[in-house]
Structures are given as C-alpha cells and as structure tokens.
Amino acid sequence: MKDKIAGIALLMSLALLPVSITAQEDSKIQLKLDEAKAKLVEFNTEHMIDSLDQEKLPRLVSGGLLANANMSNFIITRNNKPMSSYMHIGGEFGGFMDFRITKHFSIQPQVIFTAHQNYFAATDTANHLWSFGMDIPVYFLGRFGNMEKGYIQFGGGIFTHFTFASNIAGKFKNVDESTAVATPATPTDTHDYSRLYSLHDNHFGVAVTVGYEFPIGIQINAHYKVSLSDIAGFYKEYKGQEIANAMIYPQSVSLGIGYRWK
C-alpha cells in the first residue's frame, strides 16, 4: 500500500513539474518586459525634455534695442609729424535683428547711430573733433549657457561707418578733398595747405563683441571697432617736399545695455 502511495506522489510531482518550469519562464519574461517598459519610459521622458528645451530657445528671428556709452580716438601710423589722438566720451543708440542658425550660433546685423568725440593734437595745437554718424556692423555670434537661465554671447564681424556731420577745429577740415581749405601752420608759412589735410567721412573695418543676456531679455554688451581704411587725405609730398605720410584709423570701445524681444 505504501509503495502505491509513493508511486502516485511521484507521478503527481512529475505532472506538476512543467507547470513550475512554465511559471518560472513566465516570470523571467515578465521581468524582461518590465525592464523594456522602464527603458522606453526613460527614453520618452528624455525626448520630451529635449523637445521642451527646443521650444525654450530664442526665436529663429528676433530683434531688440541697444544703448551704449563709447570712447573713441584715432590710431596714427607712419607719422613723421608730432601728431596724437586722445579718447573722449560719446554715445550710441540703435537696434539689431538676430537670425538664429543653430542653438549656439546666429548672425546679427545692427544699425547704430553714433556720437563720437576725441582730441586730435598736431604740433602744439589740440583740435577737438566731434562727429555724428551711423555704424552698420554684422556680427557672427556664438552662444554658450542655459537659454532659460541666461547665456554668454561673443563674436566678431565687419562694419561700415557713415558720417552725417562733423567738425575739426584748427587747420584740419573734415570736408571733401577737392574743396578742402586749411589754415597755414604759422603766419609766416607760405605753403598752400589746401587739400593737404582732409579727413574722409566714411570708413569700414572689423568689430568684436562680448555680452551676457539674462532670462528676461536684458543684455550687457561690450564692443570694439577699428577701421581698416585710412581716413587721412594727407599727401606724402607737396611741391617736391615730404610734408606728411601719416595714416589715420578710427577706433572705438563701447559698453552698454540692450533688450531682446522674446
């Protein structure tokens, strides 16, 4: 009797063995499915965050205003006469359009109305120069930082300057070369200085900028511009005599604030 009971128990255990194995396999499969679901949820969450970040970037095309204080003077080279230039304070105001190419790169043209002052000294005379004009720079900007929390931007480019009105006291006249008239250096000087000292109104050059933009769109910016074109109309020789061979390049530095419309 005992042998029959043992035999029946053995048969029942053998019958239940596939069920146990199947349950273990199902458990493993379910575990793998749960892991796959977790990874899918994590991927979707990261993708959603990336999508939200893209939405928080500046618009593809945006614009704003700029206001700066500036200091300007002349770089004088090849100077065989005692000439020098000293910076004086001025101001700037204008606007910009920003064309975003990627998250970290944009092209930004600006239109800036400028008021420049400096002192231009030749021999023992100091001449006060003021001018009103317009700069049109085009910057290629890089941006680094969190677009929500603020970011640094910096870059360089080219600019063109147009002078609307200006004045140079003393013998230096900012007029057209063909009609320029200059005062003799001394009462006994018999040279005809007409057309010798003419500063051209317009020039072009290179510019660099660096700044920081806060989340609300307010900016702090610094700029440096230097002309690549010689604005001096100085003749190297007059009646066979070397009178001047100076080359003059305007430069300016500015610091100010701005605002970008989001």
On whether both 168 and 103 belong to a single domain, the answer is yes
Question: Rounded CA gap, 108 and 89, in Å?
Answer: 26
Q: Which of 47, 51, 66, 54 is nearest to 153 (CA)?
A: 66
Summarize pLDDT for 85-132 with one digit per residue, the tens.
888 999 999 999 999 999 889 999 999 999 998 887 766 666 778 889
Question: Per residue in 92-124, is it b (16+ CB within 10 Å) or e — as a string?
Answer: bebebebebeeeeebebebebebebbbbbebee
Question: Could you tell me which residue, 94 or 248, shows the higher pLDDT?
Answer: 94
On whether both 42 and 147 belong to a single domain, the answer is no
Structural domain boundaries enclosing 41: 1-55
* The predicted structure's pLDDT at residue 196: 41
The domain tally of the chain equals 2
On whether both 49 and 64 belong to a single domain, the answer is no
Question: Per residue in 191-218, is it b (16+ CB within 10 Å) or e — as a string?
Answer: eebebbbbbebebebebebebebeeeee
On whether both 36 and 69 belong to a single domain, the answer is no
The token pair that represents 177 in the structure block: 């070369």
Element counts in the chain: helices (H) and strands (E): 1, 10
Summarize pLDDT for 204-246 with one digit per residue, the tens.
999 999 999 999 999 999 999 999 988 875 555 444 555 556 6
* The predicted structure's pLDDT at residue 120: 76
The kind and range of the H/E element at 85 are strand 83-102
Q: Which of 72-81, 84-93, 103-112, 175-184 is least confident?
A: 175-184
